[in-house]
Amino acid sequence: MADEITKEDVVSKLRDASWVMMTTAGADGKLVSHPMVPQQVTDDADVWFFVSLKGGNAEALKASPQVNLSVAEAGSWLSVAAEVEFIDDRAKVDELWNKDVEGWFEGKNDPAVGLIRANSESAQFWGLPGGKMSALARIVKSRVSGDDTGGDSETMEL
């Protein structure tokens, strides 16, 4: 890749994402992905989420805290390996609470409200040069002509 990915690039991609796919391993070892809304992304690329403490998702995360966060947009894809940590911090819940979260819980004091931080460990980025429009054009051209899109991949430890 002509330009190496930086931690700032990873942080920017995560902050720009209105949602990410979080992949977890169930008790049976099968991988399951589900959309999650990042509530905050730190300068170290750690990501805060609300999670319901009722049901299988929280139990799966407690049993196997290694996750993958993925973000995709036209021409670029980001994959972040992370370890989830449950955080019991009412002040942080108050700080991150917003109108969108209210639709999932019965208020901030709902006992089902859980807060997790995905502590990012490494990231891999695949991208096509030239931004979204150029990437779309390259993808279409590649499908028609069979030529390579010219994209590349870069991995970094966080």
pLDDT of residue 131: 53
Type of residue at 19? W
Buried-state track 96-125, b at ≥16 Cβ within 10 A, e below 16: bbeeebeeebeeeeeeebbbbbbbbeebbb
> Cα 66 to the chain's mean position, in Å?
13
Type of residue at 44? D
Whole-number Å distance between alpha carbons of 48 and 41: 6
pLDDT of residue 75: 79
- Which helix (H) or strand (E) element contains residue 15? helix 7-16
Instruction: State which residues of the chain have pLDDT below 50.
Output: 1-2, 133-138
pLDDT of residue 3: 55
CATH topology of domain 7-157: Pnp Oxidase; Chain A (2.30.110)
pLDDT of residue 2: 41
